[in-house]
């Protein structure tokens, strides 16, 4: 008898589970990142209230996160200025990623709370995931492997260089 549900193995996610869903500000990677340099932190752009950073565990090459500097968990707690900048940065991310990689589409979203899938539920972050026709090819299905054709450092460099007014 076959099972109706397939299993998705994502062993890299255990890091988030062990760390807990809502890190304190002192332990929050999104609070620590802006204190370092852009290259080692994979920061693509720093705005007035928010910044753009590559996801360390991307679903696709160019998967970025837009995070407010302020340690706030819920979208309803974001200020009008943060909401506006996150929206503008989302548009700019889409334009830059299209320019650099020719993305055909995007998944954009906020996972609010650990039960909704937020890996780091204590700090608001919006995902911008580029998509291409055929990006869910045979490798994940047959080979149980996700192909990431570019190093994070190279992706960050390309996006940062293409950023308007960079």
Name the residues annotated as catalytic. 125
Closest CA to 90 of 57, 126, 59: 126
Closest CA to 11 of 146, 147, 150, 151: 146
User: Order of strands, edge to edge, in the sheet holding 126-131?
Assistant: 43-46, 50-54, 64-68, 126-131, 105-110
Specify the DSSP element, H or E, that contains 162.
Answer: helix 152-162
CA distance linking residue 33 with residue 41, whole number of Å: 6
| Beta carbons within 10 angstroms of residue 161's beta carbon | 11
CA distance linking residue 55 with residue 152, whole number of Å: 9
**Pair 71, 28: CB distance under 8 Å:** yes
């Amino acid at each position: 008898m076959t099972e109706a549900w397939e299993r998705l193995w994502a062993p890299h996610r255990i890091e988030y589970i062990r760390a807990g869903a809502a890190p304190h500000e002192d332990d929050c990677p999104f609070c620590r990142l802006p204190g370092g340099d852009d290259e080692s932190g994979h920061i693509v752009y720093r705005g007035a209230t928010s910044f753009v950073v590559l996801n360390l565990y991307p679903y696709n090459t160019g998967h970025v996160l837009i995070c407010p500097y302020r340690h706030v968990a819920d979208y309803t707690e974001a200020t009008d200025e943060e909401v506006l900048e996150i929206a503008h940065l989302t548009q700019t991310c889409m334009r830059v990623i299209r320019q650099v990689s020719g993305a055909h589409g995007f998944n954009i979203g906020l996972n609010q709370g650990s039960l909704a899938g937020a890996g780091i539920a204590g700090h608001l972050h919006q995902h911008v995931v580029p998509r291409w026709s055929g990006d869910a090819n045979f490798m994940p299905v047959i080979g149980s492997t996700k192909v990431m054709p570019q190093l994070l450092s190279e992706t960050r460099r390309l996006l940062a260089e293409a950023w308007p007014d960079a």
